[in-house]
Structures are given as structure tokens and as C-alpha cells.
């Protein structure tokens, strides 16, 4: 893995320290999370839009165990380390971390982002951690959903093609 991509993948404590330093430099921290199992154009459009909301984009990926609990025993298709590497390779992503819980609530409390973002399939009042971000004056955004793109749909097309 290239050094630049690897330096974007941080543990929770390392990311907390890095964001603290960036925040002291008046950088606006944007946070999003998800499985990002198979990166597709919908993800790319979403992450580009998220990055435009601030200076630093943090993407928190569900761990493999977390994905299995949320999506079922056949997922993730791509292991956690590989998902981190692919996500970190995207130019709009500044930092990548993982979390093992079913939701990123504890991570959001630790990182204290300025902007919390999810896709349009989430209403702002349903976004986990919105209360934390709003309590410190931050904003919560639900970005437009890119219709026609989903990892689940890709998996179904692959399964159908095998028949």
C-alpha cells in the first residue's frame, strides 16, 4: 500500500489526535460512515458532495463483524482492510477509520465532527449522532441519494448472472 494511502487510515486514538490538531487550525471536520463494501459511482458522488461541506472528510467504515450483523452472513464481500485501502485511495477522503459497533454513535462522540453526513435514504432526524453534533453547534446533512446504485443491487446482478 502506498504510504499516502496508509497514512490516511488511522486508529480511533490517532484520528482523535489528528482531528484535534486540525480543529485548532480552524479546519471544518466532516464525518460520514458506512459499510462501503463495493465502491460504486453512487459512493463516489456522495463522498465528493460530503467533502464540499468542509475541509477534512473522515470516513468511518463498519468492521467486518459489524457489517455481518447489519447485512447478514454473506457480507462483507470485501474484507475490512481492503475496504479501508480502497476508501483511502479516493482523493476526496482525508482519513479512514473503522468501528465495531452497530452504529458510530460512540465514535462520533469521541471525534466531535462539525458536520455529520449520510445519504438521502436517511432523514436528518434519523441520523445516528445528530444530537451530539448539533449540541456543539454543528450541522447534520442528508445528501441526495444516487438512484440506481447500491451494493445490494450489484450483488443481485452478479448472482443472477451466475444462473
Length of the chain: 163
Residue with the larger pLDDT of the pair 10 and 119: 10
3-state class (DSSP) for residue 138:
coil
- Which three cell numbers mark 153? 443491487
The Cα–Cα gap between 9 and 27 comes to 19
Q: What does pTM read for this prediction?
A: 0.91
R_g of the chain computed on alpha carbons: 15
Q: Are the CB atoms for 130 and 95 separated by under 8 Å? A: no
What are 146's three cell numbers?
444516487
The answer to whether the CB of 126 falls within 8 A of the CB of 103 is: no
Q: What is the mean pLDDT of the chain?
A: 92
Which position has the higher pLDDT, 149 or 12? 12
- How confident is the model at residue 150, as a pLDDT? 77
Residue 2 confidence (pLDDT) above 60: no
User: ∠ CA 108-145-81 to the nearest 5 degrees?
Assistant: 50
| Residue of 30, 27, 21, 20 lying closest to 51 (CA atoms) | 30
The pLDDT of 78-96, averaged and rounded, is 97
Beta strands in the chain (DSSP E): 29-34, 56-62, 95-99, 115-119, 139-143
Indicate the domain borders of the chain: 3-162
Question: Is 90 exceeded by the pLDDT of residue 82?
Answer: yes
Mean pLDDT of all residues in 152-163: 77
The closest of 9, 10, 13, 27 to 110, measured between CA atoms, is 13
Domain 3-162 has CATH 3.40.50.880: no
In the Cβ-directed half-sphere of 32, how many Cα atoms lie within 13 Å? 29
Amino acid at each position: 500500500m502506498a504510504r499516502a494511502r496508509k497514512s490516511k487510515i488511522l486508529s480511533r486514538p490517532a484520528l482523535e489526535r489528528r482531528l484535534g490538531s486540525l480543529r485548532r487550525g480552524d479546519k471544518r471536520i466532516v464525518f460520514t460512515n458506512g459499510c462501503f463494501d463495493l465502491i460504486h459511482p453512487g459512493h463516489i458522488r456522495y463522498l465528493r458532495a460530503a467533502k464540499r461541506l468542509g475541509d477534512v472528510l473522515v470516513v468511518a467504515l463498519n468492521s467486518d463483524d459489524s457489517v455481518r450483523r447489519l447485512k447478514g452472513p454473506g457480507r462483507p464481500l470485501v474484507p475490512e482492510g481492503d475496504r479501508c485501502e480502497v476508501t483511502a485511495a479516493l482523493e476526496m477522503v482525508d482519513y479512514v477509520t473503522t468501528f465495531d459497533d452497530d452504529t458510530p454513535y460512540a465514535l462520533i462522540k469521541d471525534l466531535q465532527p462539525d458536520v455529520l453526513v449520510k445519504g438521502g435514504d436517511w432523514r436528518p432526524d434519523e441520523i445516528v449522532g445528530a444530537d451530539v453534533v448539533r449540541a456543539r453547534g454543528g450541522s447534520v446533512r442528508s445528501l441526495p441519494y444516487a438512484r440506481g446504485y447500491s451494493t445490494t443491487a450489484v450483488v443481485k446482478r452478479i448472482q443472477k448472472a451466475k444462473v
